[in-house]
Amino acid sequence: MTINETIQVANSQMPTIGMGLWKLEQDQAAKAVRDAIAIGYRHLDSATDYANELQVGDGISQALAEGLCSREDLWVTSKLWNTDHRAEHVRPALERTLKDLQVDYLDLYLIHFPIALKHVPHDHHYPADWLYDQNDPNGKMQLDAVPLSETWAAMEEMVEAGLVRHIGVCNFSTGLIHDLLTYAKIPPAVVQVESHPYFTQEPLLRLCRERNIAVTAFSPLGALSYVPLNMAKATDTVLEEPVVLTAAKRLNKTPAQIVLRWGIQRNVAIIPKSSNPERLRENLQLFDFSLNDQEMVDISALNRNQRFNDPGEFCERVFGAFHPIYD
């Protein structure tokens, strides 16, 4: 099965494999991004919340200054944080991201979570996090009553202003996607959600396919990112599943390459993160082999609806606030 190196996003082509930037340390980010572009990455998945956009921006501008590629060759995604959902906060939030990333426009701007939190002025604390006051040991999450339709309308204005080429959402359920489609003047170009063999998200993928919305899978390798955060156990890794190991042996590829290839062979984009240059390279090399139909079926059958990134769970555990967004 041939899978293209780009995926259709509205009237554009987005590179199928992106570099995930969540948890990339500030002191490594500039070099990691520059080096990733040097080895062929053309899609960067950033977010205000990752607290490294300034350093990612340094990496991008270094790569552009070296002539490794042009701005037009890059696909740069970022995300609006929960504290900037009110209409009047969307443009300033985007402008800060553009300034930090040192770009004039984004290819894609996403609503990071369907949760509006009380606005934190940027000169008070930037980037804001889940808690309203980071310095208060008893700090709480504080919700704000902002309908997603208000935020979406402000996102649409950013397209009309030429600051972003496409807009979309992250961490939305099928119900919220249905609702968004009822009021969107510009339909979402991309939905970004967690997906891996333990969490295949078939209904959501099918809904998006039928509505011409591209899907980007975050955490395409599953548990690995979450073990150090105590959000998964080491034994939750999909990389040791016999069907993955057997396919890896047949194709002479690593288990990670098998799992990532399964991801792109479902016609979704993937954004694996690695701070290791060898693994970064490995994660790009997915186009010279393919899984057969049986391997696709067997890997998909590993699904156990296991979500690792669930604010309803971690916000309660870490911040004592129960605000589930999934049933």
Residue closer to ligand A2P, measured from CB, 229 or 301: 229
- The beta-strand segments (E) located in 11-74 are 12-15, 19-20, 43-45
Q: What string marks each residue from 222 to 241 as x (binds ligand A2P by CB under 6 A) or -?
A: --xx----------------
Residue closer to ligand A2P, measured from CB, 46 or 83: 46
Of the listed 41, 50, 109, 198, which one is catalytic? 50
Q: How far is the CB of 192 from ligand A2P (least distance, A)?
A: 12
Among 60, 256, 258, 302, binds ligand A2P (CB under 6 A): 256
Binding residues for ligand A2P, how many (CB under 6 A)?
15
Task: Write out the two tokens for 173.
Answer: 């359920």
For ligand A2P, the binding residues in 166-205 under the rule CB under 6 A are none
Residue that is written with structure tokens 């062929």 in the block: 40
For ligand A2P, the binding residues in 278-307 under the rule CB under 6 A are 279, 282-283
User: Of the listed pieces 149-157, 179-187, 261-269, 276-284, which binds ligand A2P according to CB under 6 A?
Assistant: 276-284
- The enclosing H or E element of 109 equals strand 106-111
For ligand A2P, the binding residues in 1-40 under the rule CB under 6 A are 20
- The enclosing H or E element of 58 equals helix 53-65
β-pairing, 12-15 with 6-9?
Answer: antiparallel
Q: How far is the CB of 82 from ligand A2P (least distance, A)?
A: 20
Residue closer to ligand A2P, measured from CB, 188 or 272: 272
Instruction: Please name the residues in contact with 277: beta carbons below 8 A apart, sequence gap of 6 or more.
Output: 35, 39
Residue closer to ligand A2P, measured from CB, 200 or 283: 283
Q: How far is the CB of 224 from ligand A2P (least distance, A)?
A: 4
Give the span between the Cα atoms of 191 and 171, in whole angstroms.
8
Residue closer to ligand A2P, measured from CB, 4 or 276: 276
Q: How far is the CB of 72 from ligand A2P (least distance, A)?
A: 26
When asked if residue 275 is in the footprint of ligand A2P (CB under 6 A), the reply is yes
- The enclosing H or E element of 182 equals helix 174-183
Active site residue 50: yes
Residue closer to ligand A2P, measured from CB, 84 or 241: 241
C-alpha dihedral (4, 63, 78, 14), degrees to nearest 10: -10
Among 293, 219, 295, 286, CA closest to 16: 286
CB 309 within 8 A of CB 157: no
How many of the other CB atoms lie within 10 Å of CB of 285?
15
Helix (H, G, I), strand (E, B) or coil at 78: strand
Q: How far is the CB of 132 from ligand A2P (least distance, A)?
A: 28
Residue that is written with structure tokens 């479902």 in the block: 266
Q: State the angle between helix axes of 242-251 and 293-300 in degrees (0 to 180), rounded to the nearest 10.
A: 150
Q: Any idea which residues carry the catalytic annotation? A: 50
Binding stretches for ligand A2P (CB under 6 A): 20, 219-221, 224-225, 256, 272-276, 279, 282-283
